[in-house]
Amino acid sequence: MSVLVVGSLALDSIETPFGSVHDAIGGSATYISVAASYFVNPIRIVGVVGGDFPSSAITFLEERKVDIDGLQVIKDGKTFRWSGRYRYDLNERDTLSTDLNVFEKFDPEIPEKYRKTRCVCLGNIDPVLQLKVLDQMDNPRLVVCDTMNYWIDRKKADLQKTLKRINILILNDSEARLLSQEPNLIKAGRVIRSMGPRVVIIKKGEHGALLLTDQMTFSAPAYPMENIFDPTGAGDSFAGGFVGWLARTDDTSEENLKRAVIYGSTLASFCVEKFSVDGLKDLTYLRIQDRFREFRELSRFEDL
Ligand code: AMP
């Protein structure tokens, strides 16, 4: 199954206790596409950048066999910029600035040849734009959606409209609490599922992820890492690995959703090992599978 990815393409400035980068390649659509590209080809990307988006980033997407025909380039505009700082506890991040720039007037235009794509991954962008994308699609089979506190705070009503039209929502623990107004994550998942999506995935940073459906609660561990350089993009890489696996296998059974969560966690673990998208460069399907298998050992134990 091919995958259409819509989201931000960004230049990120990031500070972590281990270093900093300025105007590094980022954005939700970038991370999702690159992570998913290890599972299915081509990934189709729809987004917008300014004339300042480096050609090396475009080349990198092309090398990963990402179809960029749906990428709008506004020559005299500036690319979306985000800057953030992580504290010693890398689970905590402060957004220092969000400059929408060319995103402010972005009107996603889905090219005719993309409209029948069966799997859609809506990266973290304005939920009004997420809805516009769905309006142009011809009956997709699987719609996976990501969001973040920025949109829950500012556009909750629009987000709720989006939620009615998706199958799977991925968000992190604090976002789940914010959206549901419920501190307990199991209950929060139930409240969010009542808003529309059949499946909710709640990411808990270095504590793993919860997969919640009406039939089951699956708790996936996170890969224990000694060297985390930059958590930026971990959530999007998770979404890319997750959706990539589902698209590759064309199977949304509960057992396969669990595998997809582990593939998502695997891609997230590679992402955080380096700054920006560097951790997702030069992976191979075999390396990904090796780490996937290591996950199985993490919480396997024998009964007496
Ligand atoms: P993650 O660490 O996976 O939650 O996502 C990080 C990426 O999200 C960064 O590369 C940012 O460029 C992008 N980002 C941050 N804020 C926003 C926003 N309000 N809308 C769209 N993308 C964003």
Kindly give the distance from the C-alpha atom of residue 275 to the centroid of ligand 1, in angstroms, as a whole number: 14
Label residue 91 by pLDDT band (50, 70, 90).
Answer: confident
- Residue 303 in any domain: the answer is no
Label residue 18 by pLDDT band (50, 70, 90).
Answer: confident
Across 250-267, average pLDDT: 97
- Residue 284 in any domain: the answer is yes
Average pLDDT score, the chain? 96
Residue 257 is predicted with a pLDDT of 98
Residue 229 is predicted with a pLDDT of 87
Strand partners, 281: none
- Residue 148 in any domain: the answer is yes
- Structural domains counted in the chain: 1
Kindly report the protein residue whose alpha carbon is nearest to atom 6 of ligand 1.
233
Kindly give the distance from the C-alpha atom of residue 228 to the centroid of ligand 1, in angstroms, as a whole number: 18
- Look up the domain containing 267 and give its range: 3-298
Residue 101 is predicted with a pLDDT of 97
- Residue 304 in any domain: the answer is no
Kindly give the distance from the C-alpha atom of residue 14 to the centroid of ligand 1, in angstroms, as a whole number: 11
Residue 142 is predicted with a pLDDT of 98
CATH number at residue 184: 3.40.1190.20
Across 23-31, average pLDDT: 97
Across 275-287, average pLDDT: 95
Rounded Cα distance between 147 and 159, Å, is 9
